[in-house]
């Protein structure tokens, strides 16, 4: 299981990569592993939408369960990964790369302080295994 050190994590199993004032969001390796084979992804938000921290931005469905995807911090959506609609299995194959879900302009960067770093998120995942 991977926990890239350059990312921030939520306790809802989303990751965010920060590059300047742009954030990229996806679901973690742990989340895709727990869900198993992802068969459907829907991003319910659109480019230009402002979403508050913890707002639902979409949903993933697997052969085992469905799960909402939440906004890790407040921002305005600038791009949506259209490839996921046709190839949802990218989430299982490359959760931190090609399977990013949205990119957004960060509007409240102080909220990043509330997210977990890689070590804290890995510990959180291990605690849930027991």
> Tell me, what's the pLDDT at 130?
72
| pLDDT tens-digit profile, the chain (130 residues) | 999 999 999 999 999 999 999 999 999 999 999 999 999 999 999 999 999 999 999 999 999 999 999 999 999 999 999 999 999 999 999 999 999 999 999 999 999 999 999 999 999 999 998 7
Residue 98 to residue 85: CA distance in whole angstroms: 13
Q: For the chain, give every domain's residue range.
A: 8-108
| Three-state DSSP string of 9-67 | ECCCCEEEEEECCEEEEEECHHHHHHHCCEEEEEECCCCCCEECCCCEEEEEEECCCEE
The answer to whether domain 8-108 has CATH 1.10.3720.10 is no
The answer to whether 115 and 72 are in contact (CB under 8 A) is yes
> Tell me, what's the pLDDT at 129?
82
């Amino acid at each position: 299981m991977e926990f890239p050190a350059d990312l921030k994590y939520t306790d809802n199993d989303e990751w965010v990569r920060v590059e300047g004032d742009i954030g990229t969001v996806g679901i973690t390796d742990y989340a895709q592993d727990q869900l198993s084979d992802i068969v459907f992804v829907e991003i319910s938000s659109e480019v230009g939408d402002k979403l508050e921290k913890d707002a639902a931005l979409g949903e993933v469905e697997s052969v085992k369960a469905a799960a909402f995807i939440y906004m890790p911090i407040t921002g305005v959506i600038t791009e949506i990964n259209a490839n996921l609609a046709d190839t949802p299995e990218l989430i299982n194959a490359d959760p931190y790369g090609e399977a990013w879900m949205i990119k957004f302009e960060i509007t409240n960067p102080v909220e990043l302080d509330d997210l977990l770093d890689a070590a804290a998120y890995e510990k959180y995942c291990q605690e849930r295994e027991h």
